[in-house]
Structure 1
């Protein structure tokens, strides 16, 4: 699958995650205060919880249910109880649009 448009950059609220489902894959997309856009798997690896409902702080996304924080850059959990990473997806910005290919994860 090729990268598809998920939204416009200007549709994203700074430091707030948005949930998108691409080809059956739930993805949390975040625009930080510097304007960088990140895309990680939307399901917490500790429990079946949407990370997009969590809290963004700096370059982390915190699960609202159990408090695990995940790096937006690497997908690695930074706090317990999660110990497995979530996938990270490559983000392309083209003409003000956010493009993501849910079949391609980034290894960091």
Structure 2
């Protein structure tokens, strides 16, 4: 479904689902890079304190759970195992997809 999210008409959904799909669409665009790069971009545009050790810890937990980096780029959602090896989200394991 994530590959077809942009084609879905929310007007036929109930209000809760409409809001959920709108939130996903708005949030997905922020995941075009790996988490450390997202944090760097965030700190450039937003004032406030970032707890770097907490971010680092969260990122390590995410990588440990997924066994990969999650990136949403122009080709869709992917899991990157290293710089040259990746798989589209829809072909990842069911556990990775659920996480």
What is the TM-score of this pair, normalised by structure 1? 0.28
**Which protein is richer in helix relative to its size?**
2
**Which protein is richer in strand relative to its size?**
1
What is the TM-score of this pair, normalised by structure 2? 0.30
Larger Rg: 2
